Amino acid sequence: MSEFSHTARPESMSAFWMPFTNNRDFKANPRLLVSAEGMHYKDVDGNSILDGTAGLWCVPCGHAQPKIVGAIRDMVGQLDFAPTFQMGHPAAFELAEKLMDYTGHKFGHVFYTNSGSEAVDTALKIALAYHKARGEGGRTRLIGRERGYHGVGFGGISVGGIAGNRKTFGPMLPGVDHLPHTHNLEKNAYTRGEPEYGTHLADELERIVALHDASTIAAVIVEPVAGSTGVLIPPKGYLKRLRELCTKHGILLIFDEVITGFGRMTTPFAADYYEVEPDLMTTAKGLTNGMVPMGAVFSKKHIHDAFMDAPPGIELFHGYTYSGHPLACAASLATLQVFEEQDILGHAKSMQAYWEDAVHSLKGLPHVIDLRSIGLIAGIELDPIAGKPGTRAFGAFKQAFADGVLIRTTGDIIALSPPLVLEKQHIDELFGKLATVLKHLD
C-alpha cells in the first residue's frame, strides 16, 4: 500500500466543514467511500454500494474508467500545470475542437471553467458583455426560473429560484426576475417523458418583458430539466416556446446543462433532445467523467465574434487560474473518446425503456405521490411527514445506503441518475432495493 493510500477511517473528522451536509448528523454516523470502479463504490468497511446517482450526476462512463485514468496519469507526468492567460498548451485547443465536433458544430467556441457554478457565472457575464459590445449596454437584466438551481456563485444563486438561498445570503444581484416553475402534480403526476400541461408557462416571459421592457433584458437561463430541485421535466413544447420568445425580443437563451449534458438524456445534450438551440450552454460534471473538476461554456459563433471586433486587446476580461487545466483537458479528451468507442449514447438509449418501466413499477408503494422519468433520470416524489419536510426521503437515503445502493434526495424527492454504462441487472437491483426501502419507511 502506498504512503498516499487513504482507505482507513480518519482519526478525526472535525476539521472538514462539509458542503451541503448536515455536518453534525454525518459525523455522528459517517458514510465513507474509499474506492470506486464501474457501477460501484466501496465503503470503508468493504461494502459494495451500487451507484444510482453517478456520484453527483458526474460519471457517465462509469468509475475508474481505465482509458480516462490513463490519460490523466500520462498528463500529470508530462505537464502538471500550464497557465492559459496569454499562454496555452495543445490539449486545451485539441479539446475545444473535439467538443465542437461533439456538439455537431452547433456551437463555435468554448470557454473553460472549473465547475458548473463558474460556468453559470461566466455565461451570465458573457451575456452582459455581449450586449455591451454590440452597443446594447442597457440590457442588464437576467431572468431565471423558480426552483432553478445554477450553482452557488452570487450570479447562480440570484438567477436560481431556491428560497433557502434568499433567506441565508441576502438580497443577491439586482435586476433579476424569475419565470414560474413548471412543476404541477395535480395535472402531471406519473408522467413518462414530457408532461402535457404547462407549455403556456413559457409565455410568462411576455409578462416580464412587458414589465421591464425587452431593451433591458440580457438573458434567460433555465435548466432544460431541473435536477437539484427534484427532477422537474419541462412540459411539451415549453422550451421551444421560450426559444421563440427570446429570439423575438433579442434576449439570449442560456441552457444550464451541467447535469443534462454528456448523455444524461441519451443525446449529447438536452438541447439535442428537445431540438432547441440555446445561445450559450453551461456544462461540467460529465465533461471529464467527473474525474477532474472542469466546467465549460459553449458559445454560438456570433456571440464570440461580437467580441472580436473590439479594438486590439483582451476581448473578455474574465478567466480562472485553472481554466483549461491540463489534467482536466486530458480527462475530457479521453471521456469523448470513450463516448465514441463505447457508444455510450447508444447504450444509454438501449436502457431507456427498461429504466422507465422500472421507475414506474414503484407506483402504489407507500408514500409515493409521483414518479417521473426522462432519459436516464428518475424523480420519485414522496409525501412529506407533516412539519418535517425532507425527513422522509432522507430516511430512505440512509436506509438505501445501508442496503448497498446510493440514491440522492432533495426535499422529499428521490432523484436517480446512474452512470450511463449501467446494465439491466443494475436497474433491477437499484429498484428492487429501493422498493424494499420504501415499503419499510416511516
What are the residues binding ligand PLP (CB under 6 A)? 115-117, 120, 149-151, 223, 227-228, 256, 258-259, 284
By beta-carbon proximity to ligand PLP, the closer residue of 225 and 437 is: 225
Q: Give the separation between CA 418 and CA 39, rounded to whole angstroms.
A: 8
By beta-carbon proximity to ligand PLP, the closer residue of 121 and 194 is: 121
The kind and range of the H/E element at 77 are helix 66-78
> Whole-number minimum distance, CB 308 to ligand PLP, in Å?
28
Q: Are 75 and 327 in contact (CB under 8 A)?
A: yes
Q: Give the separation between CA 356 and CA 378, rounded to whole angstroms.
A: 8
> Whole-number minimum distance, CB 272 to ligand PLP, in Å?
17
> Whole-number minimum distance, CB 373 to ligand PLP, in Å?
18
By beta-carbon proximity to ligand PLP, the closer residue of 58 and 380 is: 58
> Whole-number minimum distance, CB 258 to ligand PLP, in Å?
4
By beta-carbon proximity to ligand PLP, the closer residue of 160 and 198 is: 160
Q: Give the separation between CA 242 and CA 231, rounded to whole angstroms.
A: 19
By beta-carbon proximity to ligand PLP, the closer residue of 258 and 378 is: 258
By beta-carbon proximity to ligand PLP, the closer residue of 235 and 295 is: 295
All three cell numbers of 322: 485553472
Q: Give the separation between CA 389 and CA 391, rounded to whole angstroms.
A: 6
> Whole-number minimum distance, CB 266 to ligand PLP, in Å?
18
Backbone dihedral region of 275: left (phi > 0), alpha (psi from -120 to 50 degrees) or beta? left
The residue whose grid cell reads 421591464 is 212
Report the 10 Å Cβ neighbour count for 140. 17
> Whole-number minimum distance, CB 1 to ligand PLP, in Å?
31
| Backbone φ, ψ for residue 48 (5° rounding) | -90, 135
Q: Which residue is nearest to ligand PLP (CB)?
A: 116
Q: Give the separation between CA 395 and CA 82, rounded to whole angstroms.
A: 45
